[in-house]
Chains A and B, each alone.
Chain A
């Protein structure tokens, strides 16, 4: 193993690979998914009723509405803008507040407001919006509720938001696309274009080619993985341990990618295998999405040991001793795959020669 040759091959991999579709895909997909999840969970998937307000005066109602967490409140400049937003379902209900509205309310004068209701809005959203609007108007007029409400939580268990449930899938997607797909497609392309055979006729060995491709996958996967954790504000209390775990997870993914690339001879077969394995790879992330599924189900799948430490450190601020067993299993799995890869790679070298 010559480090200079590995370095040269690694740089070639980065320079050439960074222009390929799979490389760009590996960088863009996690970022786009993060943005889409944030956008959708912040508004559409939140389950919150959406209220639109056009204030023709200087009412306190829009500001008070924005303080209520259980609503999504949007303000519109004119009646026609609000009407359009209700028509296309951007908000469930639209309220037009006339000039001098608050004063008329406080003086107990009869006041008229226009309300637009989106035809497809759910009955429960209509009820909640209706009661919330009346509550806001009472707040403005200074009427105090005759009851004191005591909220009580029944039962014990983990309450996870959809954002938290989807996060493991996002982490898995980031690690697998960059770590597995990039080395696998790169290796298969070299085989299809017969450049792998050309490479091993030079002083470079199959092992060095594999190592360079694996390192490129690890670098890409780690870089995108850390970036995704950063933009999701999920770096936890142990950043050093988290980065080490991401590197190990990326190494696992890259070794898996090289194994897949070694097994297959063309891109079609590679994608067919990846589609077939997809459920096994992503299964632990799916288990995380549904807390009703017992945790031991996730532990059956090897990828659990790359995902669980990242989630525990980033979301639960776990220490090294708390994720030590999972990390040891992850390292053992990497070593096992490297041994299989060494054996398969040796056979490949003989075929190439």
Chain B
């Protein structure tokens, strides 16, 4: 292996990449856009139900419920409640009659007004009507003779939910890696279209140097951008070496995919076609982090799952080497397999 030739190839590819206006523009703009979007997304989760109550005093049972996720605000008038609803300060408003408890105890049916803002989803209104009915049952002490054994599955995140921006991070990392792969494939495709790949094979440079050079350029660019994204979004505060190792393995994996895409493409349009398909497939596991429960076990068959799961567990759940070690091993094996397969198919096609 002649490392001087490899280094020359890497420098040449970096120059070519930034000469390609489309991919250079998309890469730089994309990185800034991802960081911008991250900070625009909500950094916290609104978990409590904010309820406005028109009543003289808070019924005792309501006071106890404040600790379980009900955020109650006592209001003086209907006008104030309506204004708070329109301003979005409260989710729903309940108007309690002055003599509610006395009426309930006497057994007569009481009328309660439930206030919704005009833009409150129609299909969710039932939930808040039912909620109030149950609160009234609790006020009157009418409990059901049911014993429920409740088991919390997974880490109980009540009060400490993962904000949407942190759930988006693995998806962004995969997107950044994949866009770079499209850049690498376009470089190879351009070399084929212009005939320079065949010319390169006629020089003393061996196939090994060529593929190591191309792979290093592609994986390097992908890794640097993904790492910059994670640094800018504060993802390296915990286990930085672990996160960087996962991103490096991810970069090697997408480089292998890039080689495969290049070997199956005729021109830049084909690269775009295969590239979009690859981005969609490799991004699927990120959606299982964004929308838990969307996919079943088959999602583990997609290689990027092991990258997404590692980044998600380390950044959002504080996992360490022990918890994600199996993921890293799987990612390493898959990266080597895709790199080997990509190099073999490219070599077979263009030699």
Asked if A pairs with B, the answer is yes
Which residues of A are in contact with B by a Cβ distance under 8 Å?
20-22, 24-25, 40, 44, 46-50, 68-71, 83, 85-91, 105, 108-120, 122-124, 126-128, 131-132, 134-135, 137-138, 141, 143, 145-157, 159, 161, 185, 189, 267-269, 271-272, 275
Quote the shortest CB–CB distance from B247 to chain A (angstroms): 25
Q: Which of B138-146, B253-261, B325-333 contacts A (4 or more CB under 8 A)?
A: B138-146
Quote the shortest CB–CB distance from B280 to chain A (angstroms): 9
With beta carbons under 8 angstroms apart, the residue of A21, A120, A124, A267 that contacts B69 is A124
B147 lies within 8 A of chain A by Cβ: yes
Knowing A46-B123, A86-B153, A159-B118 are in contact, say whether A272-B21 is a contact too (CB < 8 A): yes
State whether A69 touches B123 (Cβ < 8 A).
yes
Q: Which parts of B278-292 form the interface with A (CB within 8 Å)?
A: 291-292
Binding site secondary structure of chain A = mixed
Nearest first, the 9 closest Cβ-Cβ pairs linking A and B are: A89-B292, A123-B69, A90-B293, A119-B154, A21-B273, A70-B127, A89-B293, A131-B134, A268-B22
Listed A/B pairs (24) with beta-carbon separation below 8 Å: A21-B270, A25-B276, A44-B294, A49-B127, A68-B126, A69-B126, A70-B125, A105-B144, A115-B148, A117-B150, A118-B154, A120-B161, A131-B127, A131-B134, A131-B135, A135-B134, A145-B133, A147-B110, A147-B111, A157-B118, A159-B120, A267-B268, A271-B22, A275-B25
Quote the shortest CB–CB distance from B79 to chain A (angstroms): 10
With beta carbons under 8 angstroms apart, the residue of A46, A124, A189 that contacts B47 is A124
State whether B291 touches A44 (Cβ < 8 A).
yes
State whether A149 touches B48 (Cβ < 8 A).
no
With beta carbons under 8 angstroms apart, the residue of B82, B109, B133, B294 that contacts A135 is B133
B136 lies within 8 A of chain A by Cβ: yes
How many residue-residue contacts, CB under 8 A, span A and B? 229
With beta carbons under 8 angstroms apart, the residue of B45, B85, B292 that contacts A154 is B85
> CA separation between A40 and B276, bound complex, in Å?
21
> Which B residues are CB-close (under 8 A) to A126?
69, 158
> Which A residues are CB-close (under 8 A) to B148?
112-115
Quote the shortest CB–CB distance from A78 to chain B (angstroms): 15
> Which A residues are CB-close (under 8 A) to B162?
120
State whether B157 touches A120 (Cβ < 8 A).
yes
With beta carbons under 8 angstroms apart, the residue of A85, A141, A147 that contacts B144 is A141
> Which B residues are CB-close (under 8 A) to A159?
118-122
State whether A148 touches B117 (Cβ < 8 A).
no
A85, A105, A119, A145: residue with the most chain B Cβ atoms closer than 10 Å: A145
With beta carbons under 8 angstroms apart, the residue of B48, B69, B116, B130 that contacts A132 is B130
Chain A's closest residue to B146 (CB) is A111
With beta carbons under 8 angstroms apart, the residue of A25, A105, A150, A157 that contacts B113 is A150
> Which B residues are CB-close (under 8 A) to A134?
134, 137, 144
